[in-house]
Structure 1
Amino acid sequence: MPPTQGVKTITTNVGWSVLSKTATFGLKFVTVPILARLLTPEDFGAVAVALTVVQFLAMIGGAGLTSALVVDREGDEETTHTVFWANLAMACLMALALFWWSDELAVLMGAAESAYLLRIMALLIPLQLAGDVAYSLLARQMNFSKDAVLSTVSECAAALLAVALAYFGFGVWALVVQLFSSALIRLVGLYFISGYVPRFVMKPRKLVPLLSFTSGIMGSEIANFVTFQSPMIVIARLLGLSDAGAFSAANRFASIPNQVVLSAVMGVLFPAFRLMGDDRKRRSDALMLSTQVTTVLLAPAMFGLWAIAEPAMLVLFGPQWAYAWPVLGLLAVSKAIVTPCSTFIPYLKGTGHGQVLFWSAVIRAIATTVAIAGAAYWGDLVDAMVALCVVNAITLFGYSWAVFRVDDIPFFKGLMTTSRSMMTALAMGLGVRLFLHAFASQLTNPYLQVAAGGIVGAVLYGVLVLITERALLRKIFQMVRRRGIAPESAISSA
C-alpha cells in the first residue's frame, strides 16, 4: 500500500511542478506573441482545429487506464505491461481511423482545408499515449521532480524550434513541428527517467479491476474535453477559420497562467487526494487550502489581463491582431470566474466520486456548447465569449454546490472562503480599468499603459490581499516555517 502523503510531501511535489511550469510560462510568454506576429489567424485556426480532433481521439484511446494505474494498489508488472500494450493498440487504431477519415472530419468541423494536417497529426496519438504508462509510474511514486525537468526541456526546445521555423517562413509547419518535437522529447525522456521497459505481456483479465475506476472517469474526461474544446469547433464552423485563429491565439496566451498553476497542482492533487483515503477532515482541509491558494495566484493574473487587454493585444500580438482584444479580455474573465473550481476535478477524481464528477462535467459541457453555438449563430465572436462568461458564472455555483455537498461543507461558507480572493482580484481589475481611463490623456502609448496598469494592479492587489486574506497568509507562513516537522504534525497544524 502506498504511504500516506503529508502536506510536506504534497507541497514539495507541487513546488517542483510549479517551478517547471513557471519556466515554461516564461518562454511561452515570449514565444506565443512572436508566433502570432509571424503567422496568420488562419494558420492558428487550422492547427487548432486539427489538434482538437487529435487530443479527443488520444483521450478516447487511453480509456483512462493509465489514470487507474496511478491508484492501483497492487501495481504488479503484468498489469503495467498489459496497460501499455492496450494503450498502444488503441492509439494505433485511432491514428489509422483519423488518417482514413480525415477529409470527412475536416468538412464536418468546418475546416476542409485542414484535412492534410489531420493526416499528418494522426501520428501524434501514438506518440502521446506511448508515454502515459511511464508517467503513471512516476505519479504513483509521487516523483514529480524528474518530470518537472523533462516537461521544461521538451516545451522549451519545441517552442524555440517553432519560432525559428516561423521566422524562416515555414508558416503553419512551425506549429506542427512544435507539437511533434515536444511529444517526441517527452516520450524518450519519460522512459529514461522512469526506467520502465515494456515487455510483451498481455493479460486482458488484468484490465478488469481497472475498468471499474475508468468507467466513471472517462465519461467526465470526455465531458470536460467537450467543455474546453467545443468553442473552437463551434467558432470554426459558424464563424470561420480566421475567428477560430483569433480565439486560438488569445486562448493560448490567456491559458498560460492556468498551465503554470493548474497543470502542476492538478497532477499532484489527484494521487494525493486518493492516498488520503477516508479521512474526510484531512481531505476537506486540503481541498479548502489548495483552492484558496490557487485562487489567490490565478484570479489576479486573469482579471489583470482583462484590465489591460486592449493595449496588451497590440503590444504582444501586433496590429494585425488588435481587433481581437475583446476576445482576449473576455477569455481572461471567463477563466477568472472559475478559478475557485480549479481543484474540484482532482478532488472528485481522487476521492472516488465519479458519478458527481461525471454529471457535473456533462451538464457543463452541454451548457457551454449550446450557449456558445447560440451566441455565435445570432451574433459574433465577442458575443460567444460573453456567453462563455455567463456559463462559467453558473458553473462556479453548480460545481461548488456539488463538491461541498460531498464533504458536508456549508455551501455559502465554503463559497465565500474559496471565492473571496476572486472578488478581491475583480476589485483590483476594476481599479486598473478606472486608472487607465482616468489617465488616458497622459498614457497614450500602449507600452506605457501595460506597464502602468501592471504596476498599479500589483500594488492594489497586494494591499487588498493583506486586508482580506490575513488568515490564509498566516497559515501558509506557518507551513513554510514547519517544513522540517514530520508530515503528520504539519497536517494537524494546517
Structure 2
Amino acid sequence: MSTKLLVSSSLFSVYGNFAVRFLGIASTAIMARLLAPEDFGLIALAAVVYELFVSLGDLGTQKYILKQSKIDNDIYNTTFTFRFINLNLMAVLLVCLSGPIGNFYGAPVVTELLWVYAICLSIKSLQNIYFFGFMRDLNYKPVVNVNILVKILSVAINIGFAFYFQDYRAIIYGVLASVLLMVLRTYTMKLPVPKFRLQGLRENWNFSKWLILEVFVGYIRGKADIVIAGKFFDTSQVGFYEVGKSNGSMPMQEIYAPLSNIMLTALSKNKGSAPNNSNSDIEKGIIALALIISPIFVGVFLFMDVFVSLLLGDKWLVALPIFESFLTLAYFTCFAQLLANAFLANDLVKRFVFFNAFLTLLILVIMLVSVNYGVTIEEFSMIRAAFVPFALIINVLYIKRFVQIKQASIYLSLIGYLAISCLCALPQYMILSVYFELPRIFNLLITLMLALPAYYFVSRYMTHWIKNYHTEFSAALTLLDFIKDKLIAVKKKLV
C-alpha cells in the first residue's frame, strides 16, 4: 500500500473528524453553560457503564472487517449477525444490572439512564455492516459525509433538548437521537442490505474471544478512574473530572481516531507482502503521528485556559489542571493505540491482551491507593496521566520481542518533534506573556502565526537530515510535501 494513499486517506479522515468536532463545539459550549457540573457527573456515571457494554457488544467486529485481506457478502452478513446478537444480549444484561449499579453509586437516576442506554444498544445492533467497507477500502469520503450530516442533526437536537430540559436529560436523549440517526443513514446509502447468516460465526468468535479480556482491560485502563471517582468524590467533582477528561483529550483523540482504522488496514494488508514491510509501516505511522500531533499538543497545553474559557465558560477554569493532565495522557495514548494495532495486525492479540492486563492492574492499584490517601480530584487526574508515558515505553520494549522494529526511530520521532514544537512556540509565548500585557487570545493568535511556519521549516530540515540515517522518516517528508501542495492549491484558488 502506497504511502501517498495512506497520507491522503489519513488527512481526509482527520479533516472530516475536525469538521464533526467543530459542529459539536457549539452544542458543547451551550450545554456547558446551561447545565451544571452535577448533570455531567450523573451522565458520566451511567455512560461509563454503557461504553463497556457497547465494547462487549461490538467485540471487534469493525476491526474484523478491516483486517480482512479478501472479503465477500458472506463475511459481511455473518459479522452483522454476530454483532446483532452480541449487542442485544448486552442490552438485556444492562437492564438487569441497572438497579444494582444505581445502588452502588447511591444515585437512583443512574438506573433510569441505563434503561435509555439499553435502547441505544438495541438500535446500534441494526447498523448496516457494509458501511465498514468504506473504511476497509480507505474510501473515507462517504464516511466523513455521513458523520457530518448526522452531527449537524444531532447538534440541533441536543441544543433543543438543552434549552427545554436544562438538566441531564438533554444529554441522554441527545445520545439516543444520534444513535438512531446514524443507523438510519447507513440504510439510505447505496449499500447492500445485510442478512442474517449463522454459518461462519465461529470465525468471528475465534477472532473476538481474546478481545473480551482486552475489552475489560481497556475498560479498566480507560474508564475505571470514573468509577473510582464516582465512589470517592461527589457528583460535582466527577462532573469536572469527566468534562476535563473528555475535552482535555479531545484534540489528540480527534486526530488519532480516524488514523487508527487506517493504520490497522495498512498493517494487515501489508503483512507478509514483503520482508519487514509491515514493521516499517509501524515506524512510519509513529513518525507521521508525532509530526502531526506534537505541535498541537504543545500549543493547546500552553493555551488551555483560553480554550476552556471559550468553549465551556469561566466556571470550568477551576478544573484547568484536569484538562492539562488529560491532554498529556491523550498525547501518549495515541502512540500506545497505534502499537496496539500493530499487535492485532501481526496476530499477537493473546500476548498483547495479557501484557496490557498486567499494566492495567498496576494502574488500578495505584489509583485505589491514591484515593485512600485523600488526594484531591486534580491530583487524582495527574496520577492517572503520569502512568501513560511509562506504559508506552514498556509497550515498545514488549512488541520488539515479536516484531522487528527500530526503537531508535520511534524515540527519535517522539523526542525530536516534541522538542521542535517547544522550540518554535515557547520563545514568542514567553516574550508575549512577560513583556506585553496582551489579552490571552491575542497571545494565542500571534504565537500560532509565528510558530506554525517555523515548525514546518525546522521539522523539514531535521527530517531531511535524519532520513540519511533512518529511511523511515521519508514518511514525514511525504506528509510535509502533501501539506505544502494542498496549501499551494488553496492559495491559487484564493488568488
TM-score by length of 2: 0.86
Q: Structure 1's 292 and 434: CA in aligned 2 closer, same or farther, altered over 3 A?
A: same
Q: CA deviation at 1:23?
A: 0.8
Tell which deviates more after alignment, 181-190 or 402-411: 402-411
Q: Which residue of 1 aligns with 2:236?
A: 242
Is 1:340–1:422's contact at 8 Å kept on the other side of the alignment?
A: no
Over residues 208-250 of structure 1, what are the superposed CA-to-partner deviations in whole Å (9 max), with x where a residue is unaligned? 2333322333432432232221222221221122122112222
Query: Do residues 346 (structure 1) and 341 (structure 2) align?
Result: yes
Which of 12, 15, 20 is the aligned partner of 1:19?
15
Distance 1:282-1:157 versus aligned 2 partners, 3 A rule: same
Aligned length: 475
SS of equivalent residue, structure 1 residue 195: coil
Q: Unaligned regions of 5+ residues in structure 2, if any?
A: 468-472, 487-495
**What residue number does 2:492 align with?**
none
Hey, what's the Cα distance between the residues in 2 that align with 1:482 and 1:449? 29
Residues 392/216 of structure 1: CA separation in 2 closer, same or farther (3 Å cut): same
Residue 208 of structure 2: aligned partner: 214
CA deviation profile, 1:402-452 (whole Å, cap 9, x unmatched): 23443322434432234422343355565576446524x714x45445445
Q: Does 1:93 align with 2:96?
A: no
Report what 2:222 is aligned to: 228
Alignment of 1:411-422 (within 5 A): 411-422=407-418
Could you tell me how far apart the structure 2 residues matched to 1:400 and 1:156 are? 40
* Bigger mean CA offset, 393-402 vs 280-289: 280-289
Tell me, in whole angstroms, the C-alpha distance in 1 between the residues paired with 2:359 and 2:449. Answer: 36
Cα distance, 1:85 vs. partner?
2.6
Aligned partners of 2:135 and 2:143 also within 8 Å: no
**Offset at 1:308?**
1.9
Aligned-partner residue type, residue 476 of structure 1: L
Question: Within 2, Cα distance between the matches of 1:338 and 1:72?
Answer: 26
Equivalent in the alignment of 2:246: 252
More off after superposition, 366-375 vs 226-235: 366-375
User: AA paired with 1:239?
Assistant: F
Say which of 263, 266, 275 aligns to 2:260.
Answer: 266
Whichever residue aligns with residue 278 of structure 2, its letter is R
Letter in 1 for 2:291: V
Pair 280,370 (structure 1): closer, same or farther in 2 beyond 3 Å: farther
C-alpha separation in 2, matches of 1:18 and 1:309? 21
User: How far apart in 1 are the matches of 2:190 and 2:215?
Assistant: 26
- Name the aligned partner's letter for residue 33 of structure 2: R
| Counterpart among 121, 146, 159 of residue 163 in structure 1 | 159
Question: Which secondary structure does the structure 2 equivalent of 1:192 belong to?
Answer: coil
Structure 1 residue runs of 5 or longer lacking an equivalent are 484-494
Q: Kindly provide the CA deviation profile for residues 117-139 of structure 1, in whole angstroms up to 9, marking residues without a partner as x.
A: 11112111122233262333333
Trace 1:12-91 onto structure 2 (pairs within 5 A). 12-72=8-68, 75-91=71-87
Identity %: 14
Q: How many angstroms apart in 2 are the aligned matches of 1:195 and 1:53? A: 32
* Alpha-carbon separation, structure 2, partners of 1:330 and 1:431: 23
* CA contact 1:78–1:201 (8 Å) conserved in 2: yes
Instruction: Mark the CA change 1:407 to 1:101 in structure 2 (over 3 Å): closer, same or farther.
Output: closer
Q: TM-score, normalised by structure 1?
A: 0.86
| Greater mean alpha carbon deviation, residues 352-361 or residues 96-105 | 352-361
Report Cα offsets for 1:147-181 as digits up to 9, x if no partner. Answer: 12111211232123212322344422221232122
Cα separation, partners in 2 of 1:269 and 1:243, compared to 1, 3 Å: same
Q: Which residue pairs with 2:437 in the alignment?
A: 442
